[in-house]
Structure 1
């Protein structure tokens, strides 16, 4: 219960008097300072009433979040519609909507390597009706890559991982090597002779190639493109020698007959390419470039909302139909607790920050 109007009148009178004493102050209700001499005695009770009101308001928030969700939920995807990240987000959003009893609406906000969408999500309301489909790039690479960034990782509350994916290292017929060992031997004997194409500076494929050069002690020439499609065309035409490619696209390129692979980039063989060894198996001990996707929310989102969404993500990942669709995209369904996701961000920030620094990469 809030303080009475009479009590509030006395508070105003005393406040005004303290500013301009000595002044005879009389309220419109016929009360003066003398009439409020008992205010001090009642102040303690008023404070209790205000604390009670605050507690009640917190209770209302708790009730509101307990009824979550009561309307559609917006999911900001920081890349263009139709891309790999967008498709994975839509697969999860559809199934999560069933679990949550509402619609998850995808909003694509592309640009700045995912930075524009991340910045918009960071500023969203903390009521649980805006989620962010984060990636390793937006959370662990961009903070180390961009000289200035319109958001920070601590503006987000982690919810759960949703999936991981890996790439494969491909070479065309112009490369005189049949396996990874021969590739490294040739590259060491001919520094700078081999080129590799990527979808752009700072992309996961670019950083995978930089990590390979660091760990193998070789030197390639980077040829950045503005997208993966043109890079693939030039790769098939023999204009570039090497490239890292997502598993589904890589398998498609292998069917051409003029392309070979030296291995995949994860710690284990992906479900869609069980017959292809990892680069670690082929001799690069510990080599791991695993891309991940995750759901996050603006920092300050109520914990019970975080828990509700986390459960919906797990339900989606456990659905065989979702798993089948994800494997077809080269994605392994993987979930986590919020703390596990936070730890993953910290670990990858340190890892890729080191690679970016050693390679001298930066984007203004």
Structure 2
């Protein structure tokens, strides 16, 4: 009996050693052909711009073409599903975003699990969302706005890019934490929501800095706070919710690279080292900051922990407000 147990243990060790050796060998040869980064949105916008920026420098460094494939649809789940089902060899990657941690919770049917079917590589950038109000709203600070909202329950409206979007879920988190009654008005995209914010049809939005910065700088809207724990480099004078009225509030719109779950750790680590190096170059950091994105470049483990935290946090909000999107 002892011999049999020892035999099986040695066989398991031998197989594990062989698998590690094969993984290391595959990583040593990687990449030997073009790499595809799937962007689950239409061309244009932050997700696409960041994917192309990173891909361009990967091509220069590795001498292999990095092709961007835009695959929009089904709330960003169509492109993600294609990557989840791709071979785990490092040649098909996803430019994922916070939208995916939300979609996992709000869509009735998602053909993959975002926390299990992907190998996180690194968060490329974080774009803070901001509490932004129409210029005519009589609140100059976030404290004044919360007081105003509490004095007029159900009278102030906030616009979003649609039910189940980051704008919407961050708005609901804010309502629950701040104890205010705001009316959600969903639009078919960010542009019409911003148009109604400017005209005063809605009083506020939880818009991204990249989208809302031009109107703030022009004085057409007023940024009261950012939703990430750290202030935005693009709006250094605007405080965070965490440092003012809601300690610990830390939600933004992240964008990052993921691979299929079966991708060998050595290839994931090689991708991580390359992309983090790109993010930390002065040229790339400057370009990211100019588009309102905060460069990140963390480890696979840190990205995995962030995804789990967001899946749980958004899941709790979705359950509390009983939200389901078909």
Task: Report the TM-score, using the length of structure 1 for normalisation.
Answer: 0.81
Select the residue among 136, 142, 163 that pairs with 2:103: 142
CA distance in structure 2 between the partners assigned to 1:268 and 1:149 by the alignment:
32
**Structure 2 unmatched runs, 5+:** 1-13
Aligned pair in 2 of structure 1 residues 133, 248: CA closer, same or farther (>3 Å)? closer
Deviations along 1:147-203, whole A, 9 cap, x unmatched?
110111211112122111101111114423222222112211211101111111111
Deviations along 1:215-265, whole A, 9 cap, x unmatched?
111111111111111111111111111112221332211233342221111
Aligned Cα RMSD in Å?
2.2
Deviations along 1:55-97, whole A, 9 cap, x unmatched?
9999777544421111110001111110211111111111122
**Aligned position for 2:272:** 310
Aligned-pair CA distance for 1:323: 0.3
Per the alignment, in what secondary structure is the counterpart of residue 72 of structure 2? Answer: coil
CA distance in structure 1 between the partners assigned to 2:102 and 2:188 by the alignment:
18
Aligned-pair CA distance for 1:131: 0.8
1:246 aligns with 2:208: yes
8 A Cα contact 1:99 1:315, kept in partner = no
**Structure 1 unmatched runs, 5+:** 1-51
1:204 aligns with 2:170: no
CA distance in structure 2 between the partners assigned to 1:271 and 1:91 by the alignment:
20
**Aligned position for 2:222:** 260
1:335 aligns with 2:297: yes
Aligned residues: 312
Select the residue among 341, 344, 347 that pairs with 2:309: 347
Matches within 5 A, 1:253-332: 253-332=215-294
Task: Report the TM-score, using the length of structure 2 for normalisation.
Answer: 0.89
**Aligned position for 2:8:** none
**Aligned position for 2:112:** 151
Higher relative contact order (CA 8 A, sep 6+): 2
Aligned pair in 2 of structure 1 residues 338, 255: CA closer, same or farther (>3 Å)? closer
8 A Cα contact 2:135 2:219, kept in partner = no
Aligned-pair CA distance for 1:277: 1.3
8 A Cα contact 1:248 1:328, kept in partner = no
Per the alignment, in what secondary structure is the counterpart of residue 280 of structure 1? Answer: helix
Higher gyration radius (CA): 1
CA distance in structure 2 between the partners assigned to 1:220 and 1:59 by the alignment:
57
Select the residue among 61, 77, 83 that pairs with 1:115: 77
CA distance in structure 2 between the partners assigned to 1:283 and 1:189 by the alignment:
17
**Aligned position for 2:40:** 78
Structure 1 residue ranges, 4+ long, deviating more than 4 angstroms after superposition: 55-62
Aligned pair in 2 of structure 1 residues 205, 56: CA closer, same or farther (>3 Å)? closer
